[in-house]
Amino acid sequence: MYTMPDEIGYFGEYGGVFIPETLVNTLNELESAYNFFCQDNNMQDELRQLLQHYAGRPTPLYLARRLSEKYGATIYLKREDLLHTGAHKLNNTLGQILLAGYMGKKRIIAETGAGQHGVATATVAALMGMECTVYMGSVDMERQRPNVSRMKLLGAEVVPVNHGSRTLKDAINQALRDWVTNCNSTHYILGSVVGPHPFPRIVRDFQSIIGEESLTQVIEQTGGMPDDAIACVGGGSNAAGFFHPFIHSKVKLTGVEAGGRGMSDGDHCATLTTGKPGILHGCITYIIQDNNGQVLPVHSVSAGLDYPAVGPEHSFWKDSGQVSYAHCSDTQAMRACVELSRLEGIIPALESSHALGYLMEHSEKFRNRTVLINLSGRGDKDMDTILKETGL
């Protein structure tokens, strides 16, 4: 049986609780709340109801016929793009808002990159009548404008972050500063499998419904296990949830990071290909950093992947070889986005387009295989970038 993380929050060498002492008891409280949830049928039932009737689960597993034909594989898309709010992020925020309620917190904070996690957090805060503040890098506010408007419409305050690279990493820094100041009243809904323990575990568990449904659906539809499963990796939550039920199976798992403009420093966020172990945002994990241990600027056309670290469980999976990690460039992802739109009538998020782009670029590896791809979100939010990059 797979029992990671261990009781002190480690996935082998990775993970842990590297945050100011002030937050230690807040994280302990969160862990207790989650342990309570894990054995409380009422809370679990409430989450199941919300996932089904509010969020629209189960999401379909769709055999993409024209895509399959063109690339010579049998390709199934797990349609997280059809989940309420347009991405997998809601699976996690619905779970965490119940924990927040159980802990008696009145105020919610979150970070966001692509804005999908911000929207998913603003959504559940509205649903539960809680106050909500979302930190977002000013670069991301510019490139994901529709999501900024959605968060505001949902009643959240969106706070621009102008420190550092003004993207996801800096939004997390700012959210942590808020949390350490307001830890008694506030729950921080972290949006990926990153951060201090118990976040990597909680977020993975809430996202595992993606993999569990996919497993059932693929067996229903094909009578067997797939050969491959592919997902994009930013912090790594959609991938962790998608892979988790397959981790001890023969299915070949591939996480695709953002290859950006190329493999020079500052041009990509392929953390697991080029990073080195370090400590950022509360855990030991692979980080893109210079020889002095300073976190380096990174780049991706997709705001949700534009992050110089990755969840600690992915670092563990990389070292253990349980998952392979690859990357897909801005251009390949953009091409994949257009390709899927025209072959299947589905406009994928630029994040998800990285998983598709990897398959398309390496279709020879997948010939005659059955491949599941997690389509983590839809591309409406990316329309400005897509138009600019493709010149449509």
Q: Among 16, 236, 311, 348, which residue sits at the site for other proteins (rule: CB under 8 A)?
A: 16
Alpha helix (H) ranges present in the chain? 24-38, 41-49, 65-71, 89-102, 116-128, 138-143, 145-153, 168-181, 199-222, 237-243, 271-274, 312-320, 330-344, 350-361, 383-390
89 in active site = yes
Among candidate residues 80, 111, 257, 339, the one labeled active-site is 111
Task: Give 12: exposed, middle or buried? Use CB within 10 Å, 0-12, 13-18, 19+.
Answer: middle
Return the one option of other proteins, ligand PLP, none that residue 304 interacts with (CB less than 5 to 8 A, by type). Answer: ligand PLP
**Residues within window 148-167 making contact with other proteins, judged by CB under 8 A:** 163-164
* Residue partners of 40: CB distance under 8 A and separation at least 6: none
- Quick check: is 111 catalytic? yes
> For residue 27, what are its two tokens?
């994280």
Quick one: what does residue 237 bind among ligand PLP, other proteins, none, with the CB cut-off 5 to 8 Å set by partner type? ligand PLP
Site string for ligand PLP, 97-136 (x = CB under 6 A): ----------------xx-xx-------------------
Residue from the set 93, 133, 186, 238 that interacts with ligand PLP by CB under 6 A: 238
Supply 247's token pair. Answer: 């981790």
- Output 30 or 303, the one with its CB closest to ligand PLP: 303
Tokens representing 292? Answer: 């002095």
Q: Quick check: 327 binds ligand PLP (CB under 6 A)?
A: no
Closest of 357, 368, 330 to residue 143, by C-alpha: 330
Smallest distance, Å, CB 371 to other proteins? Answer: 37
Shortest gap between Cβ of 12 and ligand PLP (angstroms)? 20
Q: Which of 165, 169, 376, 381 is catalytic?
A: 376
Least separation in angstroms between CB 113 and ligand PLP: 5
Distance in Å, CB of 17 to other proteins, minimum: 6
Window 23 to 42, contacts with other proteins (CB under 8 A) = 23-26
State the catalytic residue, choosing from 31, 78, 80, 89: 89
Helix/strand/coil for 118: helix
Q: Which residues contact 134 (CB under 8 A, 6 or more apart)?
A: 109, 110, 111, 112, 118, 121, 122, 151, 156, 157, 158, 159
Q: Is 180 in the site for other proteins (CB under 8 A)?
A: yes
SS3 41: helix
Number of Cβ atoms within 10 Å of the Cβ of 67 = 25
Task: Give which of 172, 112, 174 is closest to 377, Cα–Cα.
Answer: 112
Site string for ligand PLP, 350-389 (x = CB under 6 A): -xx-----------------------xx------------
**Tokens describing residue 226:** 């797939």
The tokens for 44 are: 């679990």
Structure tokens at 128: 């539960």
Give the residue, chosen from 108, 280, 326, 349, that forms a contact with ligand PLP under the rule CB under 6 A: 349
By CB under 6 A, tell whether 210 contacts ligand PLP. Answer: no
Could you tell me how many residues of this chain bind ligand PLP (CB under 6 A)?
21
Stretch that binds other proteins, among 136-144, 170-178, 215-223, 339-347 (CB under 8 A): 170-178
**Please, which residues have CB within 8 angstroms of residue 97's CB and are 6 or more apart in sequence?**
108, 124, 125, 127, 128, 130, 189
Of 309 and 349, the one with the shorter C-beta distance to other proteins is: 309
The answer to whether residue 7 forms part of the interface with other proteins (CB under 8 A) is no
Strand order across the beta sheet in which 282-287 lies: 10-11, 14-18, 282-287, 276-280
- Which residues form the catalytic set? 89, 111, 376
Name the residues that contact ligand PLP, by CB under 6 A. Answer: 87, 113-114, 116-117, 192, 232-239, 304-305, 349, 351-352, 376-377
Q: Which residues make up the interface to other proteins (CB under 8 A)?
A: 8, 16-26, 163-164, 169, 173, 176-177, 180-184, 276-282, 284, 287, 289, 292-295
